[in-house]
Amino acid sequence: MEIITTVERLQEVAMRERAAGKTLGMVPTMGALHEGHLSLIRRAHEENDVVFCSIFVNPVQFNNAEDLQKYPRTLEADVQLIGDLADYVFAPTVEEVFPVAPTEVYDFGPVANVMEGAARPGHFNGVGVIVRRLLEWVRPHKSYFGEKDYQQIAVVKEMCRQCRILSEIVPCPIVREPNGLAMSSRNRRLSVHEFETAANIHRILEASKQCGTVQEIKTFVESEIGKIPEFQLDYFELADAETLQTADTLDNPHGVMGFITVYTGPVRLIDNVKY
């Protein structure tokens, strides 16, 4: 594995591998890697000749300075975990990626305006800014994203459509802790007690599958989350699995999903469930 820190070298090796007829897989991450990331990297390894993994805490997608400052940075441990699963790890500085502050303003349409888009203004624009750059520099055949950030996948697909980026976007299933909590780099910030409490998010979503209607599901989830004093619900939305617009009925050709964001102490955790 080669660790790359410059965009010039990144483009050089990617172009060389492509010219040699290799298929390229890309896994963009912000580091603090866990089994969820490793499942993406393993899949990229299985499906491509050459794997690129980026580790970059992208400042322009944070709309909260404290969240950016507290975001875990564990490059050495990340590189150890990746081992031989990736051929290239791109770990640049902020100045390397953004020699000047980016000014792009996208309109990713309805998929980007609801839920995380509404709760975190500018977040998806920042995701679009970095993912576009990474995919244009590497030009991977396939790029891998985890379904914990389900809405992010819809936004990235829309960005690729608008910017004519031809990489196939491959959604990968959520990986969970043994207690059911969706794996996230932010889980490291939970105390032992908060970590155990946070397992209730998945438990409640799973239990809500017993409800018969959208209204029953909403009432059930909101009341069950409300019973746990450590939790503060940001939102729980039922939405069309493709358009991500509010679903009024479970009878929907694309399927309906529940999307939840809960503060557990200071940590914002997100999860989703398919009905």
Minimum Å gap between C-beta 224 and ligand PAF is 27
Among the listed residues 258, 194, 261, the one whose alpha carbon sits nearest the alpha carbon of residue 225: 261
- Contact pick of 13, 26, 30, 270 for ligand PAF (by CB under 6 A): 30
Q: Note if 37 is an active site residue.
A: yes
**CA gyration radius, the chain:** 19
**What token pair was written down for 254?**
């694309």
The side-by-side arrangement of strands in the sheet containing 231-240 is 231-240, 256-264, 267-274
Catalytic residue among 37, 45, 123, 141: 37
Minimum Å gap between C-beta 237 and ligand PAF is 19
- Contact pick of 39, 48, 61, 143 for ligand PAF (by CB under 6 A): 61
Binding segment for ligand PAF (CB under 6 A), chosen from 8-16, 24-32, 38-46, 72-80, is 24-32
29 counts as binding ligand PAF under rule CB under 6 A: yes
> Going by C-beta distance under 8 Å and a sequence separation of 6 or more, which residues neighbour residue 62?
68, 71, 123, 126
Measured distance CA(208)–CA(204) in Å, rounded: 6
Please give the residues from 110 up to 149 whose contact with ligand PAF meets the rule CB under 6 A.
127, 130-131, 149
Measured distance CA(37)–CA(26) in Å, rounded: 12
β-pair partners for 28:
54
28 counts as binding ligand PAF under rule CB under 6 A: yes
Minimum Å gap between C-beta 261 and ligand PAF is 15
Q: Please, what sign has the CA dihedral across residues 174, 175, 180, 184?
A: negative
Minimum Å gap between C-beta 197 and ligand PAF is 24
Binding segment for ligand PAF (CB under 6 A), chosen from 12-20, 22-30, 84-92, 252-260, is 22-30
Contact positions vs ligand PAF (CB under 6 A): 28-30, 58, 61, 127, 130-131, 149, 152
Q: Which residues are catalytic?
A: 37
